[in-house]
Structure 1
Amino acid sequence: RNCTQVDRSLVDRIVARVACHLLNSSGKPQFNGFDIGGQLSLPEVVALVDKAERSHLKSQCGGLQTLLKNNYHIFQVKSGNVRLRIPEDSSTISVQGPMRQRRACWFNENHPQGCPLTREKCRFAH
């Protein structure tokens, strides 16, 4: 019940929808020229997901907040609010060797500006 069995296409659709709304929200903060989008409350994020999708998530993994937290490399969920996470330089974390750069970088593939980190510094594959 931790969203590992949810259909990947459903997860991808929800992630894309939430990220798109965050990037299109007003008052966009920047991080070194990188658009990190706005912030949405959890109720605002819930409103982006239709009832059937919410019901499916609830039966499979406990809900939308669990899905967002499982995608911690994309989203930061804190104090009832959701925002895009600023990608971390791999030199500041302890992921090394074969575990490093296995998963594709979501920002590189989906963010309008790509990933703000170089291929060498990003902990995900470019």
Structure 2
Amino acid sequence: RSSYSCCYFVLPCCFFDFHGKYSRRQSKKTQYREYLDFVAQVGYVCGFQVEEDCLRIPSTKRVSLIGKNRTYPPTERALIDKQITQYINNRQICAVVTCNRRVGFKHKDHSDVCEKANSELPENETEIADTIWMPGFQPREKVEQIRNCASLPRDFVDDVVLSVANLLLNASPQKSCSPGENMNTWNQGESLSLKEVAEHLNKETLKRLKSEYGGLQTLLKNNHQVFEVLNGRVHIRDWRKEMPSRKAKPEVKRRLSAEAFKTRLCWFFIHHPDGCSLPSESCPYAHGTEELR
């Protein structure tokens, strides 16, 4: 609850309601336009004269809503508080039963919104202005914890990557290739389901991954250089299949392109029993520290 002199500015972006993801209710409008109308409606229910403006910013969602003036005198603040409470409760009920009932709304004339909300005020709620609008509401922390496996210790991630890679490689017979031999013998290993991979990891590792969003799958996808996760199955990535467009480039451009991306060491060059499936000049990763740029 803000003071009567409070003003606000909002730049709607993500489509969320009071209790979760915003659910569309009008097919004749775009999702963005409908959501803008909803946010404007909230402002009118709260007793603001809502103005709309388009910002000059490089974004597709640049329509802002501003509330500078009130539509009611200070003496009617308790009545508006009841109106807001009823509006929030109505939307919560709709969210629970997934019905399409909503307060009437017209973009040019919003007076009917307040009238509708006032007509639905319960008679026994004489002290509703002193109650909490949304009991149990928990705002996000000021500093949101990163839980997408990106903040895990590097040593821990490297150990998991090496363990999973060895598991996939050892699942098929070793076919090491000697220098000059056809690279078709390069061992890509077998594919295993995420469940099968998880069964081979120790409990402490799984417990640590479980506290991250996406767990094991997220960690493996983050290590795009080594793994490919498709339809719930984990594969060793074969970079020979990732470079079809490079063949069409002139030789000079291919060399420059490879050098430009060599800011990280090639995992396969260091850890794979057959080395990297690509020659140094074609691999986007460095085959040794001397190639790092």
Scaled by the length of structure 2, the TM-score of the pair is 0.39
For structure 1, the residue ranges without an aligned partner over 5 or more in a row are: none
Could you tell me which residue of structure 2 aligns to residue 44 of structure 1? 196
Residues 8-27 of structure 1 aligned to structure 2 (within 5 Å): 8-26=154-172
Superposition misfits of 4+ residues, deviation over 6 angstroms: none
Aligned residues: 125
Structure 2 SS opposite 1:35? coil
| 1:75 correspondence with 2:244 | no
| 1:111 correspondence with 2:267 | no
For structure 1, which segment, 41-50 or 57-66, has the greater mean C-alpha deviation from structure 2 after superposition? 57-66
Distance 1:49 1:110 in 2: 19
Residues 26-37 of structure 1 aligned to structure 2 (within 5 Å): 26=172, 32-37=184-189
Post-superposition shift, 1:27?
Answer: 6.7
Which digits, 9 at most, give the CA deviation of each residue in 1:49-86, with x for residues without a partner? Answer: 22221121222443000000001111111111111000
Could you tell me which residue of structure 1 aligns to residue 48 of structure 2? none
Structure of higher CA gyration radius = 2
Counterpart residue identity of residue 67, structure 1: L
Scaled by the length of structure 1, the TM-score of the pair is 0.85
Q: 1:111 to 1:57 in 2, by over 3 A?
A: same
Percent identity reads: 44
Whether contact under 8 Å (1:39, 1:81) holds in the other structure is yes
Distance 2:278 2:259 in 1: 19
Counterpart residue identity of residue 42, structure 1: L
Post-superposition shift, 1:98?
Answer: 7.0
Post-superposition shift, 1:97?
Answer: 7.4
Aligned-residue CA RMSD (Å): 2.7
For structure 2, the residue ranges without an aligned partner over 5 or more in a row are: 1-146, 176-182, 248-255, 288-293
